[in-house]
Amino acid sequence: MPHILIAADAEWVIDDVRSALETPDTTFVVCRRGQDVAAAAKRQTPDLAVLDLQIGNMGGMAVCMNLRLEESGGRLPHIRVLMLLDRAADIFLARRAGAEGWLVKPLDSLRLSRAARTVLKGGTVYEGLPPVQLAPTATAETEDEAADEVAGDGDAPPDAGGEPAADGVGAESARGDEVPAG
């Protein structure tokens, strides 16, 4: 039976979330002020917190960050967070706040219920992000150049070190000479 905390001050947001997520087994607690969320979570830990970005006195980003701070201080367990964003530009903030998922408004019941189920199961929902572009693979030429940079420019010989090997016999220097033990 999932217990869901809704943090929003707009009645239509609360109604949309409730209607999309309500089942006979689901319980809800509604916080209309962001500053009340941590106390409500301490009274009964929610399985999921659905946070609206725009909450009158303490917005969803600050609430999410506060939940993460309470968790890091050992005062709350980890609470999965689904953020409801106003625009795609808010994605950066949701990511920085540590939300497991977010949806960009306007909401619809299907997207909201699918996202909540995913986050409740331990997954993530990052709506509005462009597809990830993979970096082109390195060519042999660029790999050789990278190896040259790591090895140095060749002007000065690497330090032989003179440290004995773990077996006490000797070690090879970076130039390939044997370095006597001890």
* Tens-digit pLDDT profile for residues 95-115: 999 999 999 999 999 999 999
Overall domain count for the chain: 1
The verdict on residue 15 lying in a domain is yes
Tell whether 89 is covered by a domain. Answer: yes
Identify whether 167 is part of a domain: no
Amino acid in the structure at residue 50:
V
> Does residue 135 lie in a domain region?
no
Domain that holds residue 13: 3-126
> Average pLDDT of 133-150?
52
Minimal CA–CA distance to 84: which of 116, 51, 117? 51
| Any domain includes 177 | no
Phi, psi torsion values for 6, nearest 5 degrees: -110, 125
For the record, the structure tokens of 133 come out as 């572009």
Q: What is the pTM of this model?
A: 0.71
Four-CA torsion 126, 91, 67, 49, nearest 10 degrees: -50
- The Cα 147–Cα 108 span in angstroms is 52
Mean pLDDT score across all residues of the chain: 81
Residue 22 counted as domain residue: yes
Average pLDDT over residues 6-33: 96
pLDDT band at 51 (very low <50, low <70, confident <90, very high): very high
Query: Residue 31: its pLDDT value, please?
Result: 97
d(CA 147, CA 170): 26
Q: Does 176 reside within a domain?
A: no
User: Does residue 179 fall inside a structural domain?
Assistant: no
Residue 152 pLDDT exceeds 80: no
CATH code at position 11: 3.40.50.2300
Confidence band, pLDDT 50/70/90 cuts, at residue 1: confident
